[in-house]
Chain A
Amino acid sequence: MSGPLVLGIETSCDETGIGIVRGRTLLSNTIASSMDEHARYGGVVPEVAARAHLEALQPSIERALDEAQVRLDDLDAVAVTSGPGLAGALMVGVGAAKGLAVSLGKPLYAVNHLVGHIAADILDADAPPLEYPTIALLVSGGHTSLLHVRDLTTDVELLGETVDDAAGEAFDKVARILGLPYPGGPQIDRAAADGDPKAIRFPRGLSKASDLVKHRYDFSFSGLKTAVARWIERAEAEGVEVPVADVAASFREAVVDVLATKALAACADLGVPRLLLGGGVIANRRLREVVIERAEAAGVSVRIPPLSLCTDNGAMIAALAAELIMSGRGPSTFAFGADSTLPVTEIQVSPA
């Protein structure tokens, strides 16, 4: 086991993630989620998330150190997510990371959350090394992004992203329309189990020829959500009992279809036979099935990190910083803050 010992702090959404890695070896992936507190609101409430981060940080760091069997003095560096994400939530992590780094006199690396999702893959000890270039599809409740990764630490390009709701958000909102609890992803999945994915043809956002000119790799899920709501209202107006299973399955199919189609289009257009998946929505089994099946047909190999590393976590932040260190990059200055719209090209924030 070699490489720098790094503690990563991730607070961009509703998970307080503390991870510890030594080089590419995962030592701890501690996650405290405030999801239950958001359930009654039907979605992540930024202020609730930020309050929960403040409470969870210290015990989470202690738990991670315990699990990794290391002491803070042993660390080579501290890493933190600077963005993108919820500003108020990010700032809790930034404040803690700076306090910790100054206290210990250790270097601090401020990194990009989305690139962190890609870095999660290198912590998978059972997988062969990550090959470049690769297309990466990152899908969660906070983001839906398609990336062209030529090198993890130096060259990541945004191909497209959602222009409105994130895919995970769409699941939450449609779940609400169907009267299902939060979070929507697993609920829709359960409801869709006996449904026919072809029962209703819901629209595929930004997939018409006219849209593809400007938005070939962009996503839109807001129209889909409205289409589902309208379909249900019409059924109710006609006095028909809403076939929840069919609606859920058809909605999910529309989301999955767009995600898989655009990701594989990017692979084909750019001649990249590799696709990496990340983000919490990857937990959706139907999404994985469809992507794997279509990728196989297209001759594209698919990599999926373990699901515990797909959802937001601190280990991926630590892993990205460890890669930066191993490639000879110096620490960030303390001048950075939280950047809720940090572009993916900024892999390390505020390098010296």
Chain B
Amino acid sequence: MILAVDTSLGTAVAVTGLDGRVVAEASSPDPLGHAEVIGDLLARVARPGIAYAVAGMGPGPFTGLRIGIAAARAFALGRGIPVVPVPSHYAAALAALDDGIEGTFAIVTDARRREIAVSVFDGTDADGIPNLVQPTRLEKQGTPLEVPVIETGRLSAADLARVAARAIAAGRTLADGEPLYLRSPDVVQPGAPKRVSG
């Protein structure tokens, strides 16, 4: 079985078979409070026989996103099983493809600070994995996109697990260990100390 964890939007966890069939699912749509709910949600779906832990790698607000990745990694460590990192937008893309979307389309999620995260897909590849045709990027809110847009406010961990199942079957890796931050930490190098004398 596969455990998938995603906190890129709300908090979503699911356990599926290696064929992608859903065994158990639990989620909270709250875009905050990931740290509070992740334990109970995991406890509801966890069971013996899990062979892979899938981490949704974002994009998403950093603080929440990291909680799911940390939980998935620690779960994997506890069971001695591998972590499978999957970009979160793949889950939304697979759902859209199942719903029958054709041609090029964009998965769009809120990236805060009046920006959106955009991933452009086109069908699936030979392994049945959504075909990412442009790397995930940030755009200003309201930027016209040339392709049909699917705005996503909720992400299904079961869909994430299904993407992972196909990647595992094909022996492929869809993301590296680093979350899809898309932004550098928001800091400036200190200049000379400010004068304090009036």
- In the complex, A21 Cα to B28 Cα: how many Å? 35
Chain B 22-79 residues near chain A, CB threshold 8 A: 33-36, 38-40, 42-43, 46, 62-64, 66-79
Q: Which residues of A contact B78 (CB under 8 A)?
A: 72, 99-100, 102-104
Contact B197 A95 (CB under 8 A): no
User: Per a CB cutoff under 8 Å, which of A45, A47, A177 touches B62?
Assistant: A47
Chain B residues, CB < 8 A from A114: none
Judge whether A262 is part of the interface by a CB distance below 8 angstroms: no
Q: Judging by beta carbons under 8 Å apart, are B185 and A57 in contact?
A: no
Determine if B34 and A99 form an interchain contact, defined as CB atoms under 8 angstroms apart.
Answer: no
* Docked complex Cα distance between A225 and B144 (Å): 50
Given A62-B77, A88-B62, CB of A334 within 8 Å of CB of B196 = no
Give how many B residues have a beta carbon under 8 Å from the other chain's beta carbons.
41
A58 touches B66 (CB 8 A): no
User: What number of A-B contacts does a CB cutoff of 8 Å give?
Assistant: 133
Residues of A close to B193: CB separation below 8 A? 176-177, 229
Majority secondary structure of chain A interface residues (helix, strand, loop or mixed): helix
Q: Name the B residues within 8 Å of A108 (CB-CB).
A: 39
B190 touches A103 (CB 8 A): no
Tell me the nearest residue of chain A to B186, going by C-beta: A47
Q: Measured between C-beta atoms, what is the minimum distance from A169 to chain B in Å? A: 14
**A102 engages B36 (CB within 8 Å):** no
Report the minimum CB–CB distance from B72 to chain A (whole Å).
6
Indicate whether A94 reaches chain B with its CB closer than 8 angstroms.
yes
User: Smallest distance from the beta carbon of A62 to chain B beta carbons, Å?
Assistant: 7
Q: Mask for B73-101, Cβ within 8 A of A = 1, else 0?
A: 11111110000000000000000000000
Interface positions, chain A 83-103, Cβ under 8 Å from B, are: 87-88, 90-103
Confirm or deny: A234 has a beta carbon within 8 angstroms of a beta carbon on chain B: yes
In the complex, are the beta carbons of B67 and A92 less than 8 A apart? yes
Of the 9-residue stretches A48-56, A153-161, A241-249, A317-325, which lies at the interface with chain B? A48-56
Interface size class of A (residues with CB under 8 A): 35 or more
Bound form: Cα–Cα A336–B35 in Å: 7
Does B126 reach chain A (CB closer than 8 Å)?
no
Partner of A61, one of B35, B40, B69, B77: B77
B74 contacts A58, C-beta separation under 8 Å: yes
A47-B187, A103-B79 known; A91+B34 contact, CB < 8 A? yes
The reply to whether A233 and B70 contact each other, CB–CB distance below 8 Å, is no
Q: Are B75 and A103 closer than 8 Å at their CB atoms?
A: yes
Q: How far is it, in angstroms, between the C-alpha of A57 and the C-alpha of B67 when the chains are bound?
A: 12
Contacts A91-B63, A176-B190, A234-B197 given: A102-B73 contact, CB under 8 Å?
no
Q: Are A91 and B35 in contact (CB under 8 A)?
A: yes
A337 within 8 A of B: yes
> A41-B189, A42-B190, A176-B190 known; A226 and B196 CB under 8 Å?
yes
B113 within 8 Å of A by Cβ? no
Judging by beta carbons under 8 Å apart, are A94 and B35 in contact?
yes
Q: B172-195 interface mask toward A, CB cutoff 8 Å, 1 = contact, 0 = none? A: 000001010100011101100101
A residues in contact (CB < 8 Å) with B:
40-42, 45, 47-48, 50-51, 53-55, 57-58, 61-62, 72, 87-88, 90-104, 108, 176-177, 226, 229-230, 233-234, 237, 334-338
